[in-house]
Amino acid sequence: MGIFEIFNLLFFPVIFLFPLSFGIVIIKKIIFWLYLWQLKEYHIGRFIDHFRTAKGKELLMSKINFLKIIVLFMLIYSGIIPDNPPYDAWLFLFIFSFIVLFIIYLAEAVKAVKDFCQKNFRKPVFTKKILFLFVILIAIAASFPLFLFINNLELLIWLIVFDLVIPLIVSIIVLFFQPLTFLGRNWIIKKAKKKRTQFKNLLVVGITGSYGKTSTKEFLAAILSEKFNVLKTKKHQNSEAGISQSILKDLKPEHEIFVVEMGAYNLKGIKLLCDIVKPKIGVLTGINEQHMATFGSLGNIIKAKYELIESLPENGIAFFNARNKYCLGLYNQTKIKKFLYGKEAKFFGEENILGAVAAAKELGMTDEEISLAAGKIENRFGGIVLKEGINDLKIIDATYSANPDGVIAHLEYLKTFPGQKVIVMPCLVELGPASKEVHQRLGKKIGEVCAPVKEPNGSNGTHLGLAIITTKDRFKELKGGFIEGGGKEGNILFIEDPEEIFEKIISFSGPNDIILLESRVPNNLVKKLLNENI
């Protein structure tokens, strides 16, 4: 049976399945690129920085895209041949190209459906903004073929082009509507400022830093709630829009204290937040290289975080983390009433509790009230949770976020556990020019945690640690630091596939061994290790 007979046999199912498969692939891509823009908080600097990572580069130059480009040129060439005999050659090339293209899209569609069913599907939170952008993009995708009054060959060519430029199309639509978003944001901010002025007696505590913000906010709100009526910003609600929404939707006359987490990616960002909420108390939890890619330098990060303290009134009160050298420097230059906290912290994250305690004392709470409230706080480690996993493994779930100091602290916590240890983490992002040095430092610390225990006779004993790195951007630097820190060369691995990572952990570990899951590791890996339904 020749290729033409095969094509005729498959013609009708292909005519149905091809547009279905193509549609599923396009919808998945639209959803993913909207997810990425939302993940980067629609910040163009953070979005662009993503493509400096290995994962980002693979998104644009993937093997499947390369294969589609080859098919694209084959289709273009098949349209040129008819001008020169033999005329059957162009038809053969066209049919062959179409079959290859159909197989590609069918395979992509099947994988998309499988990922969706297994809940391994990266999708945004469907806010009103995302839904609006999604509808616009789906309308563009659906109407695109209607504008192509062309033959089948040209239609296929333009469909491939449309597929390849989906990232650009989504980005253009997102950026096109950003002015509307900007106007809407400013309108919300204006309303929030107006409402804030009505609460003359409301005391606002602003909390910022490169790390420890969320933990300190949660601890402080929990402690203050023992005596006061407290409102706190919700999870991920630390931007100007999020904080303004909190004021408009949640702030009530009965609230006495408003605890506000403040985040920013540029200079003047924290100052804008302070203009909205008017804090009287400021807590600076710590400063490091996190988000240097958007700030440009560590100096800019320090200036940005200090905007909180500069925005406090003359009778304001500033709290600084004594365990952070940059905070110590800022403490020394501050003229208003100020306190250091956390110097006596005995375990990682305890400085966040001590900061909350210090602020609560200044607000008039007694030691007894604070002790009672602190006793109700279940997780004192902030940002991590110790869980029971499959095969009696202990799982340290630190998948909320990652920054250099946080990773170091989590590794210190990991050291306190007996048994063999496994660290699973990606390379850190948005560190800018500091990335190489930071990863060398992290690798050395991981190596120290994973180093063999010395036997009484002086020889190396059982090797206690395995490091699995899920992205390759700075794997070289991590490995070099790992070996320098005392880790065994063969015990730091680059593995991307979640299933392979799971199998490696299970083969390496035994009952009561400890696994640290740091930053964004695959969700299905987390679920398998916790023995949850996927």
Task: Provide the β-strand partners of residue 261.
Answer: 207
Residue predicted with more confidence, 395 or 375: 395
Q: Is it the case that residue 159 has pLDDT exceeding 60?
A: yes
Q: pLDDT tier at 171 (50, 70, 90 boundaries)? A: very high
Task: State how far the alpha carbon of 529 is from the alpha carbons of 242, 461, 507, 526, in Å.
Answer: 34, 27, 13, 5
**Exposed/middle/buried for 468, CB within 10 Å: 0-12, 13-18, 19+?**
buried
Residue predicted with more confidence, 489 or 331: 331
State pLDDT tens for residues 364-379. Answer: 999 999 989 888 776 6
d(CA 520, CA 427): 10
Lowest mean pLDDT among 69-83, 213-227, 260-274, 318-332: 69-83
Q: Is it the case that residue 415 has pLDDT exceeding 90?
A: no
d(CA 384, CA 232): 20
**Strands 492-494 and 465-469: what pairing?**
parallel
Average pLDDT value for residue range 146-172: 84
Average pLDDT value for residue range 6-10: 53
* DSSP collapsed to 3 states, 240-275: HHHHHHHHHHHCCCCCCEEEEECCCCCCCHHHHHHH
Task: Provide the β-strand partners of residue 283.
Answer: 207, 319
What angle is formed at CA 159 by the lines to CA 148 and CA 153, rounded to 5 degrees?
70
Lowest mean pLDDT among 146-155, 195-204, 238-247, 350-359: 146-155
**Strands 385-388 and 394-398: what pairing?**
antiparallel
Lowest mean pLDDT among 13-27, 155-169, 357-371, 446-460: 446-460
- The crossing angle, in degrees rounded to 10, of helices 240-250 and 178-197 is 50
Lowest mean pLDDT among 1-15, 126-140, 418-432: 1-15
* Cis before 86 (ω within 30): yes
Q: Is it the case that residue 85 has pLDDT exceeding 70?
A: no
In this prediction, residue 12 carries a pLDDT of 55
Instruction: Give me the phi and psi of 90, to 5 degrees please.
Output: -65, -35
Asked if 260 contacts 297 with a C-beta cutoff of 8 angstroms, the reply is no
In this prediction, residue 57 carries a pLDDT of 84
Asked if 23 contacts 108 with a C-beta cutoff of 8 angstroms, the reply is no
Residue predicted with more confidence, 374 or 471: 471
Q: Is it the case that residue 458 has pLDDT exceeding 80?
A: no
In this prediction, residue 7 carries a pLDDT of 52
| Cβ atoms < 10 Å from Cβ of 480 | 17
In this prediction, residue 412 carries a pLDDT of 86
Q: Is it the case that residue 87 has pLDDT exceeding 60?
A: no
In this prediction, residue 383 carries a pLDDT of 66
Catalogue all structural domains in the chain, each as residue range(s) with its CATH number: 3-176 (no CATH), 199-374 (3.40.1190.10), 385-529 (3.90.190.20)
Q: Is it the case that residue 10 has pLDDT exceeding 70?
A: no
H or E element that contains 114? helix 88-117
Exposure class string for 62-88: b at 16+ Cβ within 10 A, else e? eeeeeebeebbebbeebeebeeeeeee
| Cβ atoms < 10 Å from Cβ of 120 | 16
Q: pLDDT tier at 251 (50, 70, 90 boundaries)? A: very high
**Exposed/middle/buried for 267, CB within 10 Å: 0-12, 13-18, 19+?**
middle
Asked if 317 contacts 339 with a C-beta cutoff of 8 angstroms, the reply is yes
Asked if 215 contacts 356 with a C-beta cutoff of 8 angstroms, the reply is no
Q: What is the mean pLDDT of the chain?
A: 87
3-state secondary structure of 318: strand
d(CA 533, CA 524): 9
Q: pLDDT tier at 231 (50, 70, 90 boundaries)? A: very high
Q: Is it the case that residue 200 has pLDDT exceeding 70?
A: yes
Nearby residues of 17 by Cβ (< 8 Å), 6 or more positions away: 102, 106
Task: Provide the β-strand partners of residue 230.
Answer: 257
Q: Is it the case that residue 212 has pLDDT exceeding 80?
A: yes
Residue 454 per-residue DSSP state: B
Residue predicted with more confidence, 387 or 144: 387
State pLDDT tens for residues 17-63. Answer: 888 999 999 999 999 999 999 988 898 888 988 888 888 888 878 88
Nearby residues of 34 by Cβ (< 8 Å), 6 or more positions away: 124, 130, 133, 134, 137, 170, 174
d(CA 251, CA 230): 10
State pLDDT tens for residues 264-313. Answer: 888 999 999 999 999 999 999 999 988 888 888 999 999 999 999 999 99
Q: pLDDT tier at 83 (50, 70, 90 boundaries)? A: low
Q: Is it the case that residue 448 has pLDDT exceeding 70?
A: yes
Task: State how far the alpha carbon of 98 is from the alpha carbons of 64, 77, 156, in Å.
Answer: 15, 13, 8
Q: Is it the case that residue 244 has pLDDT exceeding 90?
A: yes
